[in-house]
Structure 1
Amino acid sequence: MNGPTGSLPPSGAGGAAPAFRLGALQIAAPILGGLVAGTALAYVLVEATGGHMTAGELWSWVSATVIASVVVPSLSPRYGVELTHNQLVLLGGGRRKIAWQDIVGMEIRKTAGIRTVVVQVSDGRRTPLRAPMSLLDRGFDDKAQVLTGWWAARRGGPDRV
């Protein structure tokens, strides 16, 4: 799942640099939920408009939903973050690097019951991180603490720590 690719260093100040990535289930669950809800809505609309959907047609919709929820996660980029000594590296669809000293704050945001880390950059941008995320991950709090610990230890200058 949404785990580090290395062991979690104590309080984020040392040890091997961790990387957090979304697991296949974390990508598939929202897709599957959306496809199932879409299928149910389509069936309700067909019934409400006086049309008719046979059991075979419903089975085809559900089968397509399940297959799509298995295939789509394997095709999507591996979203995540890597922590290095000098910067936070955002992965997925490309690489974006943010120097630790350019990060002025980190907060936990809860949207639709799912918690994520939001990075506040000195130029005013707020970037929600794709990983770690609390969906299907009981270790989210520990990972968020590691992330903020790395930032606190590396953000620069003794007056800012």
Structure 2
Amino acid sequence: MNDPAGSLPQSGVGGATPTFRLGALQIAAPLLGGLLVGTALAYVLVEATGGHMTAGELWTCVSAGLIASVVVPSLPPRHGVELTHSQLVVLGGGRREFVWQDIIGLEIRKTLGIRTVVVQVSDGRRIPLRAPMSLLDRDFDAKARILADWWTARRGGPDRV
């Protein structure tokens, strides 16, 4: 889950450049949960409006959710973060590159019990990173520490994580 490419260096100085991506379970769990909640809500709404959902229709909704939760995580991960010696590269929905000197802070944001890293850029933007993410990842704290160490070593700014 959320494994970096290569080993986890203890500090951001030297060694391979880490890449963090979401693992299959990190993608599948919220997807499956959302689809099951959506199916339950659709069932309740149909019943509340006087309609009726047959067992076959209900099975179709549930099986579509199960299939999607297997297929989507098997697709190649598009969202992630690469740490290079000169910049932080955010992948997903295009490629965004942030020079370490333009990053003025890092913070951990907790939403619904799931922690993520938010990058504060000098132009005022706050960029939430999809990976690393604490959902189903026991190594989140170590990965956030690596990200902070890389930023500190290359930015020379205060350590804010």
Q: Same fold (TM over 0.5)?
A: yes
Q: Does 1:87 align with 2:92?
A: no
Q: What's 2:42 paired with? A: 42
Any unmatched runs of 5+ in structure 1? none
For residues 76 and 41 of structure 2, the distance between their equivalents in structure 1, rounded to whole angstroms, comes to 26
CA drift of 1:56 comes to 1.5
| 2:78 maps to amino acid | R
Q: Does 1:111 align with 2:111?
A: yes
CA drift of 1:61 comes to 1.0
CA drift of 1:2 comes to 0.6
Is the Cα–Cα contact under 8 Å of residues 22 and 80 in structure 1 kept in the other structure? yes
Cα shift readout 1:113-161 (whole Å, capped 9, x = no counterpart): 11000000111110001100011111100000000000000114xxx46
CA drift of 1:29 comes to 1.3
Number of aligned positions between the proteins:
158
Query: Which aligned pairs between 1:126-145 and structure 2 lie closer than 5 A?
Result: 126-145=126-145
SS for the counterpart of 2:106 is: strand
Q: What's 2:148 paired with? A: 148
Any unmatched runs of 5+ in structure 2? none
For residues 104 and 77 of structure 1, the distance between their equivalents in structure 2, rounded to whole angstroms, comes to 28
User: Identity over the aligned pairs, expressed in percent?
Assistant: 79
Cα shift readout 1:52-103 (whole Å, capped 9, x = no counterpart): 2221221111111111222233447521011011100111122111001110
Superposed CA RMSD in Å reads 1.5
SS for the counterpart of 2:11 is: helix
Is the Cα–Cα contact under 8 Å of residues 77 and 93 in structure 1 kept in the other structure? no
Change (3 A) 1:112 1:76: farther
Structure 1 runs (4+) greater than 6 angstroms displaced: none
SS for the counterpart of 1:10 is: coil
Q: What's 1:59 paired with? A: 59
Is the Cα–Cα contact under 8 Å of residues 19 and 83 in structure 1 kept in the other structure? yes
